């Protein structure tokens, strides 16, 4: 055990074919509490050998029955999982908050959404429908939907268990089996949930959890010839590498790569609601949100007042121990993310004006805390306006009129989300149509529902999660032709 590690540090195992196992190398790596910088757990450090075992288990489970289970049975298992998550939600929320640094109140919402996600797809399992194709011959032409096979799922650390649910729920409902790799920073809640798999009747090997790092555990999963599909949420750089790695085996890939989402405020918007919406859009979950409204576009006539009001409120945001209920912002997830966000704060000071924050939150002697930070007079071509920061750093950009706003908003390599605030429904609808983004909110930012599609345009990725769109990504389409004509073809 490394020095400085407290006695209560728990050593976890990972789940392969229903068994709790160490990594083949026996190596583990530490998992931290980002508010204290203390090690809270040790987790198996998986490599290719472990991934190979997990994929073999998932393949076997798929071939030996899960792929043929009835939709009702898969649905019931998902309902039982939802129920169990709900029953244990206090424990899960506390662990999530401790491990990721997110405020406990937000973690409670996340865990509630986890249960809802399993429930939704439990219900959807029995609604996977085929078609009868209206072909012109004396034949019955059918379209069948079948599970794609083994799914490799690689998830990030900002919504650890929720991203697990977004990946596992539709895959299981579709009849796929899974190898899930949680983020190395935050594997704990997924591992806790995996404790209940056998109780709820999930057969061994249907879901395997492999803990490890991207290059050593993620990449072998992407390259594995027996994996039929990769679902990834994370950085654009890794997303691009995954597309290249998946090419050799022509895998299905879906990617959710975050963005630089514009939050657009017209002068006629309700001012109080606007300020609140700007803060919520960019600072919720410490700004570690793929759809963060990190480019705040404000119409010139309200711009000075807006920057001032937003900054005043930002300075009062309560940073603190994530487990305290009044805390509105916890630490960033890791030292790596802290350093990254700090470097963007410094870059911002060189290319824009600072209205709030700008550094480490000095009142904490330890923990990866940074101040909620607002830059204004930001050029849309500045580094802080183009690159995803993934921390509480806002870039406020002025605009003159509607066409100016849409032009700036769309001038980004990303296109995950956008929001527009106005009391003019016609203006709102024109913007909705013109914005190149997978999600557009009007007079709100961030509400996310399992019933509605999630995913981006442009370099924010491809494929859609959630709703019926999410299950489609785990299904193959088979055309079946049944000849009803008893005569020979008669061609030769
Ligand atoms: P990352 O993209 O490196 O990590 C996300 C997941 O991918 C983790 O499970 C990681 O182990 C895995 N991974 C990393 N390299 C891999 C590889 N070569 N092959 C297969 N899997 C691999 O994200 P990171 O480094 O934690 O954060 C960097 C930036 O990424 C953030 O600052 C943020 O801008 C962005 N990000 C976006 C997210 C989103 O929700 N779209 C979530 C997390 C990060
Ligand atoms: Mg990385």
Q: What is the pLDDT of residues 275-314, one digit of tens each?
A: 999 999 999 999 999 999 999 999 999 999 999 999 999 9
d(CA 188, CA 70): 31
What residue owns the CA closest to ligand 1's atom 18? Answer: 215
Give the pLDDT score at 68: 84
Q: Name the pTM for this structure.
A: 0.97
**CA of residue 238 to ligand 2 center, whole Å:** 7
Strand ranges for 247-364 from DSSP E: 252-256, 262-265, 295-299, 353-356
d(CA 114, CA 139): 44
Does the CB atom of residue 213 touch ligand 1 within 6 A? yes
Q: Whole-number mean pLDDT of the chain?
A: 97
Cβ atoms of 386 and 412 within 8 Å: the answer is yes
Angle at 185 between CA 338 and CA 315, to 5 degrees: 35
**CA of residue 331 to ligand 1 center, whole Å:** 18
Does the CB atom of residue 224 touch ligand 1 within 6 A? no
For residue 281, the Cα-to-chain-centroid distance in whole angstroms is 16
What residue owns the CA closest to ligand 1's atom 14? Answer: 214
Active site positions, annotated: 256, 290
**CA of residue 299 to ligand 2 center, whole Å:** 36
**CA of residue 260 to ligand 1 center, whole Å:** 16
Per-residue pLDDT tens digits for 245-273: 999 999 999 999 999 999 999 999 999 99
In this structure, how many other beta carbons lie within 10 angstroms of the beta carbon of residue 480?
A: 12
Place of tokens 């509630």: 112
Query: Which ligand has the shortest distance to the CA of 340?
Result: 1
What residue owns the CA closest to ligand 1's atom 24? Answer: 235
**CA of residue 137 to ligand 1 center, whole Å:** 51
In this structure, how many other beta carbons lie within 10 angstroms of the beta carbon of residue 346?
A: 11
Does the CB atom of residue 183 touch ligand 1 within 6 A? yes
**CA of residue 162 to ligand 1 center, whole Å:** 16
Per-residue pLDDT tens digits for 204-221: 999 999 999 999 999 999
Cβ-proximal residues to 356 (8 Å cutoff; 6+ apart), any chain: 310, 311, 314, 315, 371, 372, 373, 374
Ligand 1: which of 209, 215, 235, 289 to mutate, most ligand atoms within 8 Å of CB?
A: 235
Cβ-proximal residues to 315 (8 Å cutoff; 6+ apart), any chain: 356, 357, 372
Strand ranges for 309-427 from DSSP E: 353-356, 373-376, 393-399, 414-415, 417-421
**CA of residue 468 to ligand 2 center, whole Å:** 30
Does the CB atom of residue 235 touch ligand 1 within 6 A? yes
SS3 state of residue 203:
coil
SS3 state of residue 417:
strand
Does the CB atom of residue 273 touch ligand 1 within 6 A? no
d(CA 337, CA 475): 35
Does the CB atom of residue 238 touch ligand 1 within 6 A? yes
Does the CB atom of residue 234 touch ligand 1 within 6 A? yes
- The CA distances from residue 238 to 32, 87, 461, in Å, are 23, 35, 11
Ligand 1: which of 238, 294, 334, 465 to mutate, most ligand atoms within 8 Å of CB?
A: 238
What residue owns the CA closest to ligand 1's atom 44? Answer: 234
Query: Closest by alpha carbon to 205, among 14, 13, 17?
Result: 17
Cβ-proximal residues to 35 (8 Å cutoff; 6+ apart), any chain: 98, 101, 321, 322, 330, 331, 366, 367, 368, 369
What residue owns the CA closest to ligand 1's atom 38? Answer: 234
d(CA 102, CA 159): 9
Give the pLDDT score at 5: 45
Cβ atoms of 324 and 104 within 8 Å: the answer is yes
d(CA 277, CA 411): 22
Half-sphere exposure of 246 (CA within 13 A, CB side): 24
SS3 state of residue 399:
strand
What residue owns the CA closest to ligand 1's atom 15? Answer: 214
Does the CB atom of residue 246 touch ligand 1 within 6 A? no
For residue 125, the Cα-to-chain-centroid distance in whole angstroms is 22
Query: Which ligand has the shortest distance to the CA of 181?
Result: 1
The first and second tokens of residue 328, run together, are 């509105």
In this structure, how many other beta carbons lie within 10 angstroms of the beta carbon of residue 192?
A: 17
Per-residue pLDDT of the chain (492 residues; tens, 9 = 90+): 344 445 589 999 999 999 999 999 999 999 999 999 999 999 999 999 999 999 999 999 999 989 789 999 999 999 999 999 999 999 999 999 999 999 999 999 999 999 999 999 999 999 999 999 999 999 999 999 999 999 999 999 999 999 999 999 999 999 999 999 999 999 999 999 999 999 999 999 999 999 999 999 999 999 999 999 999 999 999 999 999 999 999 999 999 999 999 999 999 999 999 999 999 999 999 999 999 999 999 999 999 999 999 999 999 999 999 999 999 999 999 999 999 999 999 999 999 999 999 999 999 999 999 999 999 999 999 999 999 999 999 999 999 999 999 999 999 999 999 999 999 999 999 999 999 999 999 999 999 999 999 999 999 999 999 999 999 999 999 999 999 999 999 999
Phi, psi for 155 (deg, rounded to 5): -125, 160
Does the CB atom of residue 241 touch ligand 1 within 6 A? yes
Nearest-Å Rg of the Cα atoms of the chain is 24
């Amino acid at each position: 055990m490394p020095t400085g590690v407290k006695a209560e540090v728990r050593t976890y195992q990972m789940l392969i074919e229903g068994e709790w196992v160490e990594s083949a190398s026996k190596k583990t790596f530490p998992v931290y509490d980002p508010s204290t910088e203390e090690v809270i757990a040790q987790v198996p450090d998986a490599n290719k050998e472990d991934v190979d075992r997990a994929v073999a288990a998932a393949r076997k489970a798929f071939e030996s029955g899960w792929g043929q289970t009835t939709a009702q049975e898969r649905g019931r298992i998902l309902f039982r999982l939802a129920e169990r998550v709900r029953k244990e939600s206090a424990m899960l929320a506390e662990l999530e908050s401790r491990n990721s640094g997110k405020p406990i109140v937000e973690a409670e919402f996340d865990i509630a959404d986890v249960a809802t996600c399993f429930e939704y797809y439990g219900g959807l399992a029995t609604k996977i429908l085929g078609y009868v194709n209206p072909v012109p011959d004396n034949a019955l032409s059918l379209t069948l939907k079948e599970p794609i096979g083994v799914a490799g799922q690689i998830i990030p650390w900002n919504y650890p268990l929720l991203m697990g649910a977004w990946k596992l729920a539709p895959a299981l409902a579709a009849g796929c089996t899974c190898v899930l790799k949680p983020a190395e920073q935050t594997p704990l809640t997924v591992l806790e949930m995996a404790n209940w798999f056998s109780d709820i009747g999930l057969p061994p090997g249907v879901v395997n959890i492999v803990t490890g790092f991207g290059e050593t555990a993620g990449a072998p999963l992407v390259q594995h010839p027996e994996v039929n599909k990769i679902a990834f949420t994370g950085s654009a750089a890794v997303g691009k590498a995954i597309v290249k790695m998946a090419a050799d085996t022509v895998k299905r890939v879906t990617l959710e790569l975050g963005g630089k989402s514009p939050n657009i405020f017209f002068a006629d918007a309700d001012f109080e609601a606007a300020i609140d919406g700007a803060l919520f859009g960019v600072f919720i979950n410490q700004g570690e949100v793929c759809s963060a409204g990190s480019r705040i576009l404000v119409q010139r006539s309200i711009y000075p007042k807006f920057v001032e009001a937003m900054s005043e409120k930002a300075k009062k945001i309560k940073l603190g121990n994530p487990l305290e209920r009044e805390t509105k912002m916890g630490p960033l997830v890791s030292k790596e993310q802290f350093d990254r966000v700090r470097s963007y704060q410094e870059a911002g000071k060189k290319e824009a004006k600072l209205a709030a924050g700008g550094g480490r939150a000095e009142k904490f002697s330890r923990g990866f805390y940074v101040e909620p930070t607002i830059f204004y007079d930001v050029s849309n071509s500045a580094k802080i306006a183009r690159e995803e920061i993934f921390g509480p750093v806002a870039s406020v950009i002025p605009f003159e009129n509607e066409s100016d706003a849409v032009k700036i908003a769309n001038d980004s390599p990303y296109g995950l989300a956008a929001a527009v605030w106005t009391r003019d429904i016609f203006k709102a609808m024109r913007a909705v149509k013109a914005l190149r983004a997978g999600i557009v909110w009007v007079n709100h930012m961030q509400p996310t529902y399992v019933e509605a599609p999630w995913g981006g345009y442009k370099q924010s990725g491809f494929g859609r999660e959630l709703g019926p769109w999410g299950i489609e990504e785990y299904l193959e389409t088979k055309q079946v032709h049944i000849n009803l004509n008893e005569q020979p073809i008669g061609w030769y």
